[in-house]
Structure 1
Amino acid sequence: MLGVEALVMMVVETPVGVETPVGVMTPVVAMTMVDMLTLSMLTVAIVEMLTMLTVEALALMMVEMLTVEALAMLTVESQILLMLVALWEMLRMRMTQVTSLKENQLRLLLATTTCCTMSVLQVRPLQVLCC
Structure 2
Amino acid sequence: MQLQEVISMVRWINEGDPRVPFNDSSVEQWHHALRSVDAAVAKQAVLEHVKINEGIPVSPAAISKRAGYIKTAREAGQRAIEPPRNRVAHPLSWRSRNPEEWDRLFEAGREQRRAELLGREAA
TM-score, length-scaled by structure 2 = 0.31
TM-score, length-scaled by structure 1 = 0.29
